[in-house]
């Protein structure tokens, strides 16, 4: 754990280490840890933290005209500095296609997800008639749980007016993300957004449109693959989940995480880098991991340059 001057708190998430500085600022370090089914896997993935942080930075900067966000600066590839916000206890999951958890639910025979009715006759990876929001509770430990809009409002997790504003922001962000993905020959399949409040203003927080929070298909050949009932070519963390499922692990009690050998770890790393380059249109530069002292120095230099 790092130590910063004026540090007031530390939180270790599944993937990120978050340091509170004073009353108003956060330093967020994206680690190379990887999680699936809400379980942190035992081995880190080289460069993953930098991929996540730089992808999030790219899209936060590209969407700040839609909703204010928490990011102030990113002094190192895997480090961000931003505003501390009062976090809403729900995540806004937006789905444009029937994939992942939504497909597994649909395949089981259910035709409702988080209070949203799903039409009959769909198959895996079909486009939805329109994007839907399937929120989840935000768990600090264990599994996030599906929840409906009605439950959120009834339990007073979020007020009706604020929740409806979160919906509008989430759909607008998804539309922007979809446009940006299309420009890169990709389809934004589904994603999640997290929001908080700062000085009474709803603010987008955490990551956005990264491989950990989003799923992308390659647009070229999508229709043909669907017509032929073929698996879609995708960029996301879903390939890690599928590998775990194929090896008998879905995060359930009593299940053992399969062994991750060096070749598989390197493949995951390269696929994360591929996603960054494909999604942003930028070349990823591999850098050596910084020491704790170098991270603290870079952050403190950034604080010195910041005009608050």
Residue 295: the pLDDT is 95
Shared-domain flag, residues 70 and 146? no
Q: Per-residue confidence of the chain (308 residues) as pLDDT tens digits?
A: 899 999 999 999 889 999 999 999 999 999 999 999 889 999 999 999 999 999 999 999 999 999 999 999 999 999 999 999 999 999 999 999 999 999 999 999 999 999 999 999 999 999 999 999 999 997 655 567 999 999 999 999 999 999 999 999 999 999 999 999 999 999 999 999 999 999 999 999 999 999 889 999 999 999 999 999 999 998 878 889 889 999 999 999 999 999 999 999 999 999 999 889 999 999 999 999 899 999 999 999 998 877 54
Q: Give the domain extent around 28.
A: 7-85+265-305
- Does residue 14 lie within any of the structural domains? yes
- Does residue 253 lie within any of the structural domains? no
- Does residue 36 lie within any of the structural domains? yes
- Does residue 257 lie within any of the structural domains? no
- Does residue 181 lie within any of the structural domains? yes
Shared-domain flag, residues 279 and 184? no
Shared-domain flag, residues 108 and 78? no
DSSP 253-264: TT--PPP--HHH
Shared-domain flag, residues 184 and 79? no
Shared-domain flag, residues 68 and 98? no
Domain count, the chain: 2
Residue 139: the pLDDT is 63
Asked whether the beta carbons of 299 and 81 are under 8 A apart, the reply is yes
Shared-domain flag, residues 223 and 298? no
Residue 308: the pLDDT is 45
Shared-domain flag, residues 213 and 169? yes
Residue 125: the pLDDT is 97
Sign of the Cα pseudo-torsion (159, 164, 165, 166, in order): positive
- Does residue 249 lie within any of the structural domains? no
Residue 113: the pLDDT is 95
Shared-domain flag, residues 195 and 78? no
CATH code: domain of residue 51: 3.30.200.20
Chain centre distance of CA 279? 14
- Does residue 159 lie within any of the structural domains? yes
Shared-domain flag, residues 66 and 141? no
Instruction: Determine the Cα–Cα distance for residues 1 and 15; give it in Å rounded to an integer.
Output: 14
CATH code: domain of residue 140: 3.30.470.20
Residue 60: the pLDDT is 98
- Does residue 173 lie within any of the structural domains? yes
Residue 79: the pLDDT is 97
Phi, psi of 279 (to 5 degrees): -75, -40
Report pTM: 0.89
> 3: alpha, beta or left, given left = phi > 0 and alpha = psi -120 to 50?
beta
Residue 275: the pLDDT is 87
Q: Which of 236, 254, 281 is the last residue of a domain?
A: 236
């Amino acid at each position: 754990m790092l130590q910063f001057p004026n540090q007031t708190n530390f939180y270790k998430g599944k993937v990120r280490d978050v340091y509170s500085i004073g009353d108003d600022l956060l330093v967020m370090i994206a680690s190379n840890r990887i999680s699936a089914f809400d379980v942190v896997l035992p081995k880190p993935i080289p460069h993953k933290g930098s991929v996540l942080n730089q992808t999030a930075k790219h899209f936060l900067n590209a969407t700040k005209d839609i909703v204010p966000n928490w990011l102030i600066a990113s002094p190192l590839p895997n480090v961000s500095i931003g505003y501390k916000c009062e976090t809403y206890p729900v995540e806004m999951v937006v789905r444009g296609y029937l994939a992942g958890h939504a497909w597994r639910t649909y395949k089981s025979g259910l035709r409702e997800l988080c209070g949203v009715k799903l039409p009959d006759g769909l198959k895996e990876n079909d486009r939805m008639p329109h994007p839907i929001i399937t929120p989840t509770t935000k768990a600090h430990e264990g599994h996030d749980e599906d929840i409906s809009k009605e439950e959120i409002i009834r339990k007073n997790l979020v007020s009706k007016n604020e929740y409806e504003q979160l919906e509008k922001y989430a759909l607008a962000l998804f539309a922007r993300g979809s446009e940006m993905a299309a420009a890169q020959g990709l389809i934004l399949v589904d994603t999640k957004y997290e929001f908080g409040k700062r000085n009474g203003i709803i603010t987008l927080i955490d990551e956005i449109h990264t491989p950990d929070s989003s799923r992308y298909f390659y647009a070229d050949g999508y229709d043909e693959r669907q017509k032929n009932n073929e698996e879609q070519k995708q960029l996301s963390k879903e390939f890690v989940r599928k590998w775990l499922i194929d090896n008998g692990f879905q995060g359930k009690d009593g299940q053992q995480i399969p062994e991750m050998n060096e070749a598989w770890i390197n493949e995951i790393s390269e696929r994360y880098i591929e996603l960054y380059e494909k999604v942003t249109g930028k070349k990823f530069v591999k850098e050596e991991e910084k020491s704790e002292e170098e991270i603290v120095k870079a952050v403190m230099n950034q604080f010195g340059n910041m005009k608050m």
